Structure formats: C-alpha cells, structure tokens
C-alpha cells in the first residue's frame, strides 16, 4: 500500500518527525498539523486517506477534533487513528467514542508502526490513477 495522503495531527516536533519519516519511507505523503483548528482546516481541504490524531493538542483537543471531523460529510469515511500517550484504563474507549477508528499508544514502535497504519488504510485505500 503506497501513495496515501496522511494528515498527521501532532504538536510534538520529535513525534511528528519520526512518524513522518517512517510513513514517507513507505511512499506516503504526510501533511502535518500542529493543533486542532489547523487539523480541521487541512482535513477539509485535503480530504486525506487517513488522519493520525494526537489527543493532547493545543487550541482544541483530539476528542473535540474527532467529533468535529465525524460530522463533516466529506470526511465521514476517512479513518481516524488516535496516536496518543493517553494509555490509562478507558482512554482507548474514549477515543473510539469520540469517532476514532483505532488507537495506537505512544511512544510508537518504529518496527510495527507502518504495518499498523496500513491496516487502517485498507479501509480507505488511495485510488489508483
């Protein structure tokens, strides 16, 4: 699976760099957003194949972003995967209840991260031109 446009919503520079590096190595286009408001604007404009969403964000938290994305008709089929350090009991369920399709704990594992992402991309594959 290559060639997907992925919106990466992450305010931490090091986390954003690592995820971008790993995904670009597999041919994906990664578009970064550093806060919730920017994420919503970019999601509407880009209509990405996948959204990777941190939960602890400035301006608007990831739960609020996920709920807002889910009411935008153009984006309802786009998988949203929470990538978060929120790893307490109930956090995964809160992410899913807010509209996320999946949940990956930080720190991400560079050995398995892209394979996990590809599982979600299969539900919304890039069209072949």
Q: Is the pLDDT of residue 18 over 70?
A: yes
Q: Considering the chain, what is the average pLDDT of its residues?
A: 93
* Nearest-10 crossing angle of helices 91-98, 62-70: 30
User: 28 near 5, Cβ under 8 Å?
Assistant: yes
Kindly calculate the radius of gyration of the chain based on its CA atoms and give it in whole angstroms.
13
Taken in order of first residue, the domains within the chain and their CATH numbers are 5-108 (3.40.50.2300)
Query: pLDDT digit string (tens) for 20-50?
Result: 999 999 999 999 999 999 999 999 999 999 9
Q: Which residue has the higher pLDDT, 2 or 107?
A: 107
- pTM of this structure: 0.93
∠ CA 44-81-28, nearest 5°, is 70
């Amino acid at each position: 699976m290559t060639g997907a446009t992925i919106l990466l919503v992450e305010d931490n520079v090091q986390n954003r760099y690592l995820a971008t590096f790993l995904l670009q190595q597999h041919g994906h286009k990664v578009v970064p957003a550093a806060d919730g408001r920017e994420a919503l604007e970019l999601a509407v404009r880009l209509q990405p194949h996948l959204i990777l969403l941190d939960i602890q964000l400035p301006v608007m938290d990831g739960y609020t972003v996920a709920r807002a994305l889910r009411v935008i008709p153009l984006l309802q089929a786009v998988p949203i995967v929470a990538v978060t350090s929120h790893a307490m009991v109930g956090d995964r369920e809160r992410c899913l209840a807010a509209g996320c399709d999946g949940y990956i704990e930080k720190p991400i594992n560079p050995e398995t991260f892209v394979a996990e992402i590809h599982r979600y991309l299969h539900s919304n594959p890039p069209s072949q031109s």
